[in-house]
Structure 1
Amino acid sequence: MDEDAGGASPPPVPLAQAPPPQHPIAVAAAATATAAAPSQRDMAASPTSSRSVTETVNGSHRFVIQGYSLAKGMGVGKHIASETFTVGGYQWAVYFYPDGKNPEDNSVYVSVFIALASDGTDVRALFELTLLDQSGKGKHKVHSHFDRSLESGPYTLKYRGSMWGYKRFFRRTALEASDFLKDDCLKINCTVGVVVSTIDYSRPHSIHVPDSDIGYDFGSLLDSQEGVDVILNVGGERFHAHKLVLAARSHVFRSQLFDDESDGEKSEVNETDELKEFSIDDMEPTVFKAMLHFIYRDTLVDDNELGASSSDGSIFDTLAAKLLAAADKYHLPRLRLLCESYLCKGISVASVASTLALADRHRAMELKAVCLKFSAENLSDTLMSLQL
């Protein structure tokens, strides 16, 4: 008799649970890691490299000693100091000893030294002192540490006040009979090269950030004339611009463009395009165009344009001078300094007087200071040029 196989039924097989959803970034990172996972034989670290770069940061200073004969007799060990100047993050000064630094020499020699004038320890540097030949022959007297750097290495200044130089820089009797002394004046060039070391190494992960191009973008906005909402009539030439840009750059424009009553400026509505038109009567179109270039691009026009003169060739007639006047009128301090910097490059014995007058007229204080300093350093030549 067949017997039915009895007993309990087998338990049900549980269904597999789905894994929790993963964030897309986690999925992508895992996939990247899996794809990039090296085999066992490739587990060695990638080679790296670095480079030590030791170089000098160089800077120069010209020290003019006017009234040499009056400085004589001040005493051995007493000096005349130049204005301090900065090279490589440190302050420096030139010390001139008209009666010498060394008592044993009994004032036979003049001494010249370069001193560390700011806090610093173990500052390593190279130096050069040049006594300038004022005859125009170019036969300067050069004492250079740069030429001997391979032999002796840089000089180390231990602390503030440490000096490098020459106790017997030049015999006094020879100096006073030479072309180095002219109109009771000596000129000494000083060059300092501060030694700095940096480590250059490869960065496996870096992102290059380009320079700002906001000036280019705003310049393109001016060139395209897109969204212009004001017309400026300058000597019959009409310039389209954007009121908000002008107002943001100059509070004088802000007052004129958003206050019809300001400063007696004439304004009228152009019925053709319904843009308000302002007349500017005291500026040439070329000057206004150059000012607009700066307002939108934050740069000057080309140097050949800045130096151009429309009539007599005087500095007052150059575009740079007229642009300086515009910067003064419209309170554009950066434009003023850019113009001052450009005009400063052209200062000479022949032009310093007119440049000084220009600077004084338009409150260009930086340019004025340079003119006064240049005149003091070249006093006899400047006075002679004024008499011609």
Structure 2
Amino acid sequence: MTPRDEEYDSRVVFDAANGSCTFVIPNFSGAQSLSVGQFLCSRAFPAGGHEWVFYFFPRGRVPTDSDYSSAYFALQSEASDVRALFMLRLEDQSGNGNHLVFTHFDHSLVHGPITLMRGYMWGWHRFLKRDHPEASRYIKDNCLILHCTIGVVKARLEGLRLYSIAVPPSDMGGDLKALLDSGLGTDINFEVGDEIFKAHKLILAARSPVFKAQFFGPIGDRNVEKIVVEDVDPSIFKAMLDFIYTDEFPNIKEIAGSPNRSASTSVVLHLAAAADRYCLDRLRLLCESKLGEQITIDMVATTLALADHYRLHKLKAMCLKFAANPANLGAVMESDGFKLLEGSCPLVLSELLLAASKQRTR
């Protein structure tokens, strides 16, 4: 074999080693008396085989930043090439858990070495404005708490091998779809409108608890050969069957036969209803997710009414939150869908107004 025929298989693996420290300033108002360029610093702490120190400048490191505090990490040990992820979390001491988090990935760590400190430094020259409107959340009993975390990333080459065997992705869904389309081994017929769909009881039972009970439950009939399905369009039932066999969301525009959004929305809603009928939770959630992506001020009231009708609880909650937002509510109430909501869904309208009232009082 000539060298051009040889194949090598290798990969680069990144490992991260973390280190952290908690930096507490117990007399924050006193720290404000420091001059620009003066700092408070932590003890050295290890991360990724290196020593680090955290520096905090209450009145900024340079005069142009004097309205802000500055925060820096300093590399204390010798290093030729270090890659690190920095995270600095300002603790919310109000108890609401709304911590202020700053992150950054840096390749060289060089932010211009500062001569009064050893080694390289990286940080935020305008970390936090000293008259921040929500400063009271972060300062309690004149104390400020900062959590400092450094993740040092190291790359290594792994698995250098001569020759490799390519493994294709799973094609189980395609194989099962081919089995469904061929009709091979089918043992149940579904009469849906004017169409007949053949399927396999065991596969249906494995995917749907409704089919499992219908075929193999205590009062089920495993010998049944035909089931008449009412109130489901044949195209929707076929799309549901395809999902059962492939676990892939169907092509909605192909089913709708039109690129029109309202037609696609109607298909997804009916598919969600079929998924709910047969307890196909993943398909129902996928439908809710697709519909949630299309929520707009013009459509939200209509979608809310339909979500309530089809028992799409997550989509309904999303619509309520969107419509009740004070920034959206006025325009939503002017939409045609809101008039539909007033006339046909009084209970849902009450839920919307209650949600809007709660948002206003926050």
Q: Normalising by structure 1, what TM-score?
A: 0.46
Q: Normalising by structure 2, what TM-score?
A: 0.49
Higher radius of gyration, 1 or 2 = 1
